[in-house]
Amino acid sequence: MVTIDEIEAKMYVDGDWICAKTGEKRDIINPFNQKVIGQVEEAGLEDVQIAVEAARQAFDKGKWPHLPAAERGRKLFCLAQLLQEERERFAQIETLNTGKTLMESLADMEDIANVFRYFAGLADKSGGEAIASPIEHSSSMVVREPVGVCAQITPWNYPLLQAAWKIAPALAAGCTVILKPSELTPLTSLELAKLAERAGIPRGVFNVLTGPGHSVGAALSESDDIDLVSFTGGGATGRKIMKAAAGNFKKIALELGGKNPNIVFADADFDTAVDYALNAVFFHAGQVCSAGARLLLENEIHDRFVEELKRRIPKIRLGDGFDDTVQMGPLISREHLDKVEHYVNIAEKEGASLVLGGKRPESPELKDGFFFEPTLFIDCQETMRVVQEETFGPILTVERFVDEEDAVRKANNTIYGLAGAVWTTDADRAQRVSHALRMGTVWINDFHPYFAQAPWGGYKQSGIGRELGHSGLDEYTELKHVFQNHAPKPMNWFGV
Ligand code: NAD
């Protein structure tokens, strides 16, 4: 088991492990028992300047952007290999810091290593294009170049996974990076810097600053020396970042929230749909941007489906993520627990019927953690706040629908457009519904799968841009058109 002393606490800037100029530190808490598991540096504006300068120098004067892409790829393969070797240790730190089960953290580590491997392989396959020039005696080509210095701001629910989705393509493309992890969960991001150092990523190319979003995150988003800011987090923060980025029109990539419909038709495989409906919403205690928190059931199966949910939900085992019989950990913080609990009051006032949960568990073993019982609401209407807003907790709302048109209309009636699922054995209907849903990902007879090869991102207020897949690498490149005249002669247009 990893010990607190082994966990890196300083920040990684320009290849050095440094303390914050503020002289301040922040305690990092285990949400399972509120014990302090580490202390990290609390960066301020001076630290932002130092890190931006380092990343700027590494981009403008360093070798990294100009290395053969295959060589950058080799370093990323090496980093993936180190992550694979250290997966147990990283997973333990992630479970200590987020409360999620160790099994989930280990699965995250597989995905993280895969993301690095995928972009390592893609690094030298992102060629340009030769254009058939319409001008005689000329050639025209389009090349991709790294965008520059990137600020990457990440949330607490998948600390290293969300960071990996950003760091791997940025480094593959030849950019330099300043990562600012969530102030609640910075530990694995700092540990990653150790591995980046071992993998031979040059000084200044990858930097990690720990500190508050409202100062460090905001300063990075505003900085004129940053060329791109990539953010994963809530919409309110996303809006601030978009405004801050307008100063120098830096590029932005935003991965925001979701309120994702899970639509089950009466002809679906009933038992599988029930099973996946539970997984869709209660995985990581609902703290998943693509959680299937909105269950839409066709009238004919509504009552039977709800009965089955009522039978299974109380069996979900809450507890310590290190206990391998536990299925659901705590929420990340007291503040978040309060927010989730508040949605229960809102839902009840609006007329939803609370069937299960809706409160903090009473069991003495859970009293020190930020636990919330898996919660089921029925009689929900699409206009209710608990249906429309992201609770980001273990709350499942059930709505009814009468037919396909009704299901699609209800599912699309949201400001979000991150993901959704449809369950049916009618192949034509599956296709029709998947086309009709205004979402970045649609699952048919499944929920949650994502992988490095396919793009991830949101329609509507769920974001701007795409991570993963080829488009995930394209986010970190600029397109340049290079035109050459092979027979230049005077034009004699002016002053002849
Ligand atoms: P958050 O917006 O509160 O914070 C995210 C990050 O932004 C943190 O690092 C924080 O320090 C920083 N930040 C805060 N204020 C800032 C500011 N003014 N300027 C710059 N940075 C600032 O989000 P959270 O609570 O950490 O994460 C939960 C949210 O993330 C949910 O809405 C969830 O849906 C979303 N999310 C989306 C995806 C996706 O792929 N679309 C994935 C995971 C999480």
Residue 361 predicted with pLDDT over 90: yes
Q: How far apart are CA 88 and CA 195, in angstroms?
A: 14
Q: Could you tell me which residues are beta bridge partners of residue 396?
A: 376
pLDDT in the model for residue 4: 65
- Dist. CA 1 → ligand 1 center (Å): 29
- Dist. CA 345 → ligand 1 center (Å): 25
Atom of ligand 1 nearest to the CA of 289: 34
Average of per-residue pLDDT across 138-143: 98
Residue 59 predicted with pLDDT over 70: yes
* Contact by Cβ (8 Å): 196, 72: no
- Dist. CA 182 → ligand 1 center (Å): 8
Residue 6 predicted with pLDDT over 70: no
- Dist. CA 214 → ligand 1 center (Å): 11
pLDDT tens sequence across 326-347:
999 999 999 999 999 999 999 9
Closest CA to 480 of 174, 156, 159, 146: 146
Count other C-beta atoms under 10 Å from residue 113's C-beta. Answer: 21
Average of per-residue pLDDT across 117-146: 96
Q: Is 150 a known active-site residue? A: no
Average of per-residue pLDDT across 283-311: 98
Catalytic residue among 86, 289, 382, 475: 289
Using the structure block, give the residue that is written with the tokens 């035109």.
Answer: 483
Q: 3 pLDDT band (50/70/90 cuts)?
A: confident
Q: Is 183 a known active-site residue? A: no
Q: Is the CB of 42 under 6 A from ligand 1?
A: no
Q: Is the CB of 12 under 6 A from ligand 1?
A: no
Atom of ligand 1 nearest to the CA of 180: 9
Q: Is the CB of 150 under 6 A from ligand 1?
A: no
The sign of the CA dihedral 90, 91, 94, 95 is negative
Q: Is the CB of 182 under 6 A from ligand 1?
A: yes
pLDDT tens sequence across 436-489:
999 999 999 999 999 999 999 999 999 999 999 999 999 999 999 999 999 999
Q: What structural domains does the chain harbor?
A: 4-256 (3.40.605.10), 261-444 (3.40.309.10)
Average of per-residue pLDDT across 68-75: 98
Q: Could you tell me which residues are beta bridge partners of residue 144?
A: 479
